[in-house]
Structure 1
Amino acid sequence: MNEEILLQNIILHENAYFFIKENSQYLTKRLIKTTFEEASQDKQGRFLLNIHKKPYVINEREIYYSIAIFKYIKKPSFIEESIVGWEETKLAYICLIDFENHIVIAKRNISKINDFLSLFEPLDYDVMTSIFSNENTSFEKLSMDNMNISDKAIRQKSLESNNLKDNVSTFGLQGYILNNVRVNNDDSKIALSLNASRINQLGPKNNFEGFLKWSDKVVESIKDCTLKISFLSSFATSVDYTKYKDVLNPTAILIILNKLYKEYEENKIKRCFIKVKINNEYIERDINLLSILKHFEKLIEIEFTNGGYHLKHELIKDLFLFKNNKSITLRSAKLAKVHVEYENDLSFPILSVLNWTKSYIITFDNPELIYCNRKLFKDSRLLGNLEGLLKIFIPYSELENVSSEKGSFRITSTLFDTNSVFGFVEEEFMANHDYFICDDLYKEWADHIGLSENTISFYHSKYKDSNFSASDFQDIIGQALKNLGNLSPGEDQWSLKENYWQRTYKNDGIVTQISRIRTGQDEEDVIEYFKKVKGYPNIKKQVFIVINFISKAALEDRLMKLQNAEYFVERNEVIQILWFVSSLISSCYEANTEVYICCRP
C-alpha cells in the first residue's frame, strides 16, 4: 500500500495534546525526524509509516502533518526472563500537526519525547475551560489535587454528578488545582486533562482527514478564546511563573508520592535499582524503593546556601531545588543513581520521574504564592482574611503556666498534673461533656474525646519549649487531620477501644490510677453513647488543638507584619504556620467539623 491508502485506513479518536509554540515558525524536518527517531528507539524493523512535514490545506490555510507508525516487541510483565515465542508485538504511533503558532500531538505507546515537549507551552487552564463552557454547560466529572501542604491531608478528590455546579459548594475550591474535567454541551461530551493540555472529544473514531479538521476547529477556538467566568473559576488559578521567577525564594517543599504509589498498585513498576560505574562498567543493584520513599513523606525545609536552594533532608544531603526559566526542578547526584524500571522495560532516574510528573508542592517567603503541577498559583485569601483566620485561636492565660504535656506519674496518681497541658484540658473542658475519655497513646483518635448530646469533640494536646515552631505545629496539625474520619468511627473499630478504655492510664512504664474513662460509667456505656450520638443528623463535630508554644497576640503581630511586607526573624516559620492553619480550616470545613486552636494569649 502507498502512503495515501495507509492514511485512509487510519482511524483516530478526537483526542490530542494541544500546545503553544514560542514563535510562529513551522517545525523543521530535522527536528521532526530526530523526534521520531527518539520515540522509536525500541522499534522492530523499519517504520511502517513515516511521513515528515506534509502540507494540507484547510479553510484556505496551509498546515503540516507528520506521522510515524512502528512495531516493537516487549517481554510480558508476568515473566522474569525472556522466553522465545512469549514476546508481545505492539504498534505505536505519533502524529504531529503543525499550525504555525500551535502544535497538536496524538500518540499511543510513545515515550522518550520529553525534550521535544519542553519546547512548547501547555494551554492555560482558563483557556481550556473557557472554550468548552457556557451558561448551559453541565459539569459531569471533576478530579482535583489539593494544594494543602500537610502530609496528612487528602491529596486528591474526584466528584461525579449530572451537573456538579448544582450540588457542590464553591467554598474551599480555591485550595484545589483542577486536573481533569468532563463537560456536556448539548449532548457533546468533552474530557479535558488540564495538567496535560489534552482535549478528548468523546465519541466514535474519525478518519485521518476528519482528525485534521477536528484539530483545526479546536485550534481556531483556542485562538478566538475569550476568557469566561464559570463554575470552574472557583478553583485555584495560575499566574505567569516567568514574571515572579526572579523574586521567588522557596522555603519548604512537600514531595507528593501518590502517583508513584499508584503505579505500584497497578503493577507498572517492575523494580528499582541503583546504577553505579565501577572500573568503566555500570553495575546495577536492586533496592526497595518503598523504603526510600517513606523518608520523603513530610514537609521538608529549604535553606539558601552558596550552592543554591538546599533541602534539609536527613537521608539525602545533596538534594537541591533549581529555578529554571519555565519550571522548578529537583536535583541530586545521589538520587541520580536511583532508577525506576517500568513494565515496558524503560527505566528512568527517580528524580526525572518526580520532575516530569510535577510531584511536589513548594511554598515561598511570599505566602500568597505556591508552586504545584509545574505552575505557580497565587492565593490572596491567606493574608486577605487574617481577621477570620485568627478567630479560631482562643487565648487561655492558664497555658502560660504549663510546664509539660502530661506531667509526671506515680502509681497513686488519679489526675494529670495541673501544670500540664493534659491537666488544663481536663480542668477546662471535661465539665462541658457527658462523657470524657483519655485516648492518648496506642492508635489514639485524640488525646481526649468529649461526648455530649450535641457535640463530639476531639482534643489534641502538645507541649513544646519553643516559639513559632512550624515543625511542632505541623505534628499536631497532622495528628488532627489524620483523625478527622474517626469523629464518626466505623463498626469495626469499637472492639479495640472497648479493651483499651477499660484500663487505667500507663506511661513511662508506670501504671497509674488515672481511669481512661474520665467521666462516665464504664467503657461499654461510653461506646453505646458514642454510637448513639454519632448517628444524630445535627450532631456538631469539633476539633480542639491545645498548644503552649504559640501566643495569639504574638502571632497576630507577625501576621500583620507579613501582610505589610515587614521583615521579622520568624518570617519563614510563620508563613508555614499560616499555610498549616489555612489547610486545617479547609479540611475541617470539608469534614463538616468546627476547629479551634487553644493557645497562650
Structure 2
Amino acid sequence: MLDRFQLSEKYQFFKVVRTLPKVAIRNCLREASVGKTGNALDQDIRLERKIGKKSFYASFIVFRVEQPPTFLSKGKERDVKHCYALIIEYGDYLVVTRTGGKNFQECLDDYVEKVNSDILNRAFMEAKSTVKKANTQNTSPSTTAMHKVTYEGNNVEAVMPVHQITGKMLNSFKHETNGELFTVTGNQAKVNISNSKVAVQQYLARILVSIDNFSKKRKLNPFLANFAKSLSFKQYSAKLTPVEILLLTSEMRDYVESKDDSLPKLVYKVGKVERPIKSSFQTFLQSFENSFEINKYGTGTGRQFFINNTLDAGLELEVTANGYKLNSEKFKKLWIKYYNGDSENLQALINRKNWFSVSFKNADINYSKGQLWQDSKLLGSINGFLEMFKPEPAMNAITSEKGIITATSTSFPAGSTFAYVEATMGPTLDHLLLEDLNYEYSDYIGVKNMAHVQLIHCKASDKVFSATAFQEIVGQVLKNLYFFAHPEQMEDRKAYWSGMYSTSNIDRNRTGKKNFLQDLKATMNATNSIKEVHLIVNFISKQDLTDNLKKVVTKQKAPKATLPILWLLNALRNTCLERNVRVFITCKP
C-alpha cells in the first residue's frame, strides 16, 4: 500500500540523539492510531527501501476512524476517514508526516531532537532565493511590545529595513527557490512545499536529498542572519552558566495595581496558620530592586543555582525540563493577601508570570518571559545603544526625582529631575505639560508646534548603575508608547491637564498656557512631525556604561547590572524603532 501513497510535501525533521529501538517505532504507530475503527488496513515497521544506492527505512500505518459529521449534534451517522502515519529513518535523521490520527511526537522525545532552523534554512534556501513572507516574534519582554509582526511582499528583503528585523525572531517564512514555494517553520522543524500531491517515490527522494544537504557547507541566506533565535531550553540549558538575575518588580507592582488594591498584605502561611509580615508588599519589593549574582550550585535533585541576596539565603534558581523557576522554602510560604480576601502564593505567581530575566556568560543569550533567546546582532549594536545617551554635567547635581514640595510650591526644587527638565527642555518647546500622577502617559509631554512631540520620563535613584531602576523607567516608556498611536484619547485628559499638580500650587502647564491640546493634536497628525521619548536618569554614567559594555565584548568581568541593562537597551531601541519613535537618554557624563 505504501507504493500507492500520494502525499502533500509536508515534512518534519528530527535528529536521532539516542539509539531508536524498534519498539519505540511500534509505540509511535500504536499511539497514532488510537481510536481507530477495526484493524489497521496496512502497516509495516522498518521496511528497508532503496532509491539508487541510498538505503533507508520506512515505517507506516494506514487505518480508519469514524466520527460524527461536523454539522450534526447527535445521532448514529458517522463519517469514515482514512488516516496514515509515516516515519522515515535515513542516516542520523528521522522524518515524520501524518494525516489524521493522534500526534505521537511524545513517544520520540527520549530519542530525537528537532533539527536546528539554521540547518533547515541552509538545506532548502539559496542565496538567490526570494523571501515572500516572514512571520516574526519580538524578543522584548514588554507586554506592550508588538509581539508578532508579519511582513509580506514579492521580495520582502528588498523593501524591509534591517533595523525593523533586529531583536525579532523568525517564527516561519515563505520563500521561492528554483520556482518552488517553501514554507519553513523553524521552531517546529517543519517544511511545507506548495504544490500538488506527489507520488511517494518523489516524496522520499526529496527527503534523502534534503538530509544530504544538512551536512554540506552551504551559506546561510544573508537576510536570515539578521534575526534573533529562540533556543531550545532542553538542548541548551546544560551548556549555559547563569550569572545574573533581575526580578521584574515593576511588573509585579503593575499586577497588584490592576487589582485596585495598592496596599496588599504579605502573610507567612503554613497550613491554615497565618502570620502577618511587618513590611508591606511595596517595601518587600524594594529589597529586590537590584540584579543579583548567581555563582554557586545549589543542592537538590535537579540543577540549581544560589541567588546571592540579603533577604533569603536559600533562594535558588532551579533548572526544570522546560525553563527556570525560583525556588525557596521561605517564598513558598509567602502569600499576597488582598482586601477582598483573595490571596496568591508569591513564588507560584512569580514563576507563572515569569517575572524575572536571566543573563549568562554568553552575553548574546538571555532568558526572559519563559524563553531562551540568542541575538547574534546584540554585541554589534552596542555603538547604536550608546548613541541614545546624552551626557549632561548637570545630572551630577541631581539627587531626587521631584524633591520636596508643599501646598504653596509653584515649582520643583533644584536638584530634582523635574527641575532639570523644566530648566533645560522647557525653553526649547512651545508647550511643556506636567503629566505625572494618575494614569499618566509620562512625567511630561513636550510639544514644538508642527515639529515634534516628546514624552519625557524621569527616574532618580541613589543606587549607582542600577538595572532595576532602569528596568522600571524602560517599562514605563514601553507601556506608554501607545500614546503616539491614539491621539483621540487625549480629549479625555483636558480637564486634568488644566489643573494644579497634586496638593501644590504648581500649574501643570509649565510652558505655553494656551491651546496645548489643539497644538498637540495638530502636531501629532502632521505628516513630517517627529515622535520622541526622553529618559532622564541620574544613576547611569555614559562613560561607565561604555567601559562596562567594552568589558562584555572583550569577555572581561563587568558589574552585575551590565548584562540586564544591555538587554533592556535592546528591547527599548527595537520597540521604539518599530513604532518610528526616536529615543534619547539624558544621563551623567
Alignment equivalent of 1:459, drawn from 446, 456, 459: 456
User: Is 1:233 matched up with 2:239?
Assistant: no
Alignment equivalent of 1:494, drawn from 487, 490, 494: 490
Paired residues for 1:469-484 under 5 Å: 469-484=466-481
Alignment equivalent of 1:213, drawn from 205, 209, 230: 205
* Whole-angstrom distance in 2 between the partners of 1:417 and 1:74: 75
* Whole-angstrom distance in 2 between the partners of 1:166 and 1:597: 32
Give the equivalent residue in structure 2 for 1:395. 391
* Whole-angstrom distance in 2 between the partners of 1:312 and 1:110: 46
Q: Which string of whole-angstrom CA distances, capped at 9 and with x for unpartnered residues, describes residues 448-482 of structure 1?
A: 01111322111001122322221221110011112
Q: Which string of whole-angstrom CA distances, capped at 9 and with x for unpartnered residues, describes residues 367-408 of structure 1?
A: 2333689877363642x5545433322233333333432233
Paired residues for 1:383-422 under 5 Å: 384=380, 386-422=382-418
Equivalent pairs counted in the alignment come to 518
CA change 1:57–1:470 in 2 (3 A) is same
Give the equivalent residue in structure 1 for 2:173. 181
Q: Would the aligned equivalents of 1:253 and 1:302 in 2 still touch at CA under 8 Å? A: no
Give the equivalent residue in structure 2 for 1:132. 124
The letter of the residue matching 1:496 is: D
CA change 1:371–1:480 in 2 (3 A) is closer
Alignment equivalent of 2:86, drawn from 80, 84, 95: 95
Alignment equivalent of 1:64, drawn from 26, 51, 57: 57
Give the equivalent residue in structure 2 for 1:581. 569
User: Is 1:543 matched up with 2:540?
Assistant: no
Return the offset for 1:311. Answer: 7.7
Give the equivalent residue in structure 2 for 1:14. 9
User: Is 1:144 matched up with 2:136?
Assistant: yes
User: Is 1:595 matched up with 2:583?
Assistant: yes
SS of 2:407 mapped into structure 1: coil
* Whole-angstrom distance in 1 between the partners of 2:391 and 2:15: 53
The letter of the residue matching 2:53 is: E
Give the equivalent residue in structure 1 for 2:268. none
* Whole-angstrom distance in 2 between the partners of 1:359 and 1:121: 29
* Whole-angstrom distance in 1 between the partners of 2:7 and 2:467: 52
Return the offset for 1:96. Answer: 0.4
Give the equivalent residue in structure 2 for 1:556. 546
**Percent identity at matched positions?**
24
Q: Would the aligned equivalents of 1:131 and 1:225 in 2 still touch at CA under 8 Å? A: no
Return the offset for 1:75. Answer: 10
- In structure 1, runs of 5+ residues without a counterpart are 256-297, 336-350
CA change 1:78–1:161 in 2 (3 A) is same
* Whole-angstrom distance in 1 between the partners of 2:160 and 2:479: 24
SS of 1:56 mapped into structure 2: strand
Q: Which string of whole-angstrom CA distances, capped at 9 and with x for unpartnered residues, describes residues 555-589 of structure 1?
A: 33433444444435xx2212111221232122222
* Whole-angstrom distance in 2 between the partners of 1:105 and 1:547: 54
Return the offset for 1:305. Answer: 5.1
Task: Normalising by structure 1, report the TM-score.
Answer: 0.74
Q: Which string of whole-angstrom CA distances, capped at 9 and with x for unpartnered residues, describes residues 303-346 of structure 1?
A: 455231368999xx98844288xx866597999xxxxxxxxxxx
SS of 2:425 mapped into structure 1: helix
User: Is 1:368 matched up with 2:364?
Assistant: yes
SS of 2:501 mapped into structure 1: strand
Paired residues for 1:242-391 under 5 Å: 245-246=238-239, 248-252=241-245, 303=294, 304=296, 306-307=298-299, 308-309=304-305, 320-322=317-319, 362-370=358-366, 377=374, 379=376, 381-382=378-379, 384=380, 386-391=382-387
* Whole-angstrom distance in 2 between the partners of 1:451 and 1:496: 18
CA change 1:392–1:318 in 2 (3 A) is closer
CA change 1:470–1:44 in 2 (3 A) is farther
* Whole-angstrom distance in 2 between the partners of 1:422 and 1:106: 62
Q: Which string of whole-angstrom CA distances, capped at 9 and with x for unpartnered residues, describes residues 251-287 of structure 1?
A: 33899xxxxxxxxxxxxxxxxxxxxxxxxxxxxxxxx
The letter of the residue matching 2:92 is: N
SS of 1:521 mapped into structure 2: coil
CA change 1:521–1:238 in 2 (3 A) is closer
CA change 1:564–1:225 in 2 (3 A) is closer
* Whole-angstrom distance in 2 between the partners of 1:362 and 1:238: 15
Give the equivalent residue in structure 1 for 2:160. 168
* Whole-angstrom distance in 1 between the partners of 2:7 and 2:291: 45
* Whole-angstrom distance in 2 between the partners of 1:75 and 1:417: 75
Give the equivalent residue in structure 2 for 1:194. 186
CA change 1:598–1:15 in 2 (3 A) is same
Return the offset for 1:57. Answer: 2.2
* Whole-angstrom distance in 1 between the partners of 2:158 and 2:141: 29
SS of 1:128 mapped into structure 2: helix
How large is the RMSD of aligned CA atoms in angstroms?
A: 4.3
CA change 1:250–1:588 in 2 (3 A) is same
Return the offset for 1:411. Answer: 3.0
CA change 1:559–1:225 in 2 (3 A) is closer
Return the offset for 1:116. Answer: 0.7
